[in-house]
Amino acid sequence: MSIFKNSILFSEYTEYIDILEQSVTSDFPNGINFDINFISEKNIEDVKLVIFIGNRTTSQYSYMDLNKLANKNVAEYFFNSGSINNFIPPSTTIKYFYEFIFEDNSSYISEDFLFFYHDNRFKWEEISTEKSNVFFYDISKDLAEAVSNILDQTITEMSKLLDVNIQNTINLVMYNNKYDMDSAVTHKSKTSSEQLTILGQAFSDEKIVIVLIDDQVFETVNHEITHIISSIATDDSDFLPLWLNEGLSEYSDITPQKYSSILRWGIETENLLPFKQLNTFPGDPKETILAYGQSQSVVRYLIDNYGEKKIANLFERIRKIKSYSAIDTEFTNIYGFDLDQLYFSWKDNLHEELGIQSPKNKSFMDKVFVRNNYFIILSFLALTLVLFILFRRVKKTSS
Residues 230-279: tens digit of each pLDDT: 999 999 999 999 999 999 999 877 666 889 999 999 999 999 999 999 99
Closest by CA to 205, choosing from 183, 231, 241, is 231
Least confident of 135-144, 219-228, 355-364: 355-364
Q: Cα separations (Å) of 192 from 70, 183, 308?
A: 54, 13, 36
Backbone angles phi, psi at 206, to 5 degrees: -95, -5
Residue 370 predicted with pLDDT over 70: no
Cα gap 149→153, rounded to integer Å: 6
The answer to whether residues 298 and 251 touch, using CB atoms and an 8 Å cutoff, is no
Sequence-ordered list of residues with C-beta below 8 angstroms from that of 58, at least 6 positions apart, any chain: none
pLDDT at 334 over 80: yes
The neighbour count for residue 222, using CB atoms within 10 Å, is 23
Q: To which H or E segment does residue 242 belong?
A: helix 242-251
Pairing of strands 17-27, 65-68: unpaired
Mean pLDDT of 55-65: 92
Between CA 297 and CA 291 the distance in angstroms is 10
The pLDDT confidence band at residue 38, using thresholds 50, 70 and 90, is very high
- Give the integer Cα–Cα distance in Å for 397 and 399: 5
Question: What's the confidence (pLDDT) of residue 15?
Answer: 61
8 Å CB contact between 249 and 227: yes
Q: How confident is the model at residue 26 (pLDDT cuts 50, 70, 90)?
A: very high
CB within 8 A of 284, min separation 6: which ones? Answer: none
Where is pLDDT greater, at 281 or 196?
281
- Cβ–Cβ under 8 Å, residues 145 and 217: no
- Whether 368 has a pLDDT exceeding 50, the answer reads no
* Phi-psi sector, 163: left (phi>0), alpha (psi -120 to 50), beta: left
At 399 the pLDDT is 55
Per-residue pLDDT tens over the stretch 250-264: 987 766 688 999 999
Q: How many CA atoms lie within 13 A of 295 on its CB side?
A: 27
- Which strands form 73-80's sheet, in the order they lie side by side? 2-5, 17-27, 31-40, 73-80, 65-68
Q: Is residue 189's pLDDT more than 60?
A: no
Ranges 266-270, 281-285, 344-348: which has the least confidence? 281-285
pLDDT average, residue stretch 368-381:
54
Mean of pLDDT values over 8-35? 80
H/E segment holding residue 306: helix 285-306
Q: Where are the alpha helices (DSSP H) in 118-208?
A: 141-161, 178-181, 190-195
Terminal C-alpha separation, the chain: 104
User: Which residues fall within 8 angstroms of residue 127, CB to CB, at 6 or more apart?
Assistant: 133, 134, 136, 141, 144, 145, 148
How buried is 187 (Cβ within 10 angstroms: 0-12 exposed, 13-18 middle, 19+ buried)? middle
Residues 158 and 226 sit within 8 Å (Cβ to Cβ): yes
Closest CA to 233 of 155, 316, 160, 131: 316
**pLDDT of amino acid 383:** 74
For residues 252, 253, 255, 256, the Cα torsion angle rounded to the nearest 10 degrees is -60
Q: Tell me if the pTM is above 0.85.
A: no
Query: To the nearest whole number, what is the mean pLDDT of the chain?
Result: 87
Give the model's pLDDT for residue 2: 42
Task: Give the separation between CA 218 and CA 254, rounded to whole angstroms.
Answer: 10
pLDDT in tens, 73-90: 999 999 999 877 889 999
- C-alpha closest to that of 159 among 222, 232, 211: 232
Q: Which of 116, 91, 56, 55 is nearest to 181 (CA)?
A: 91
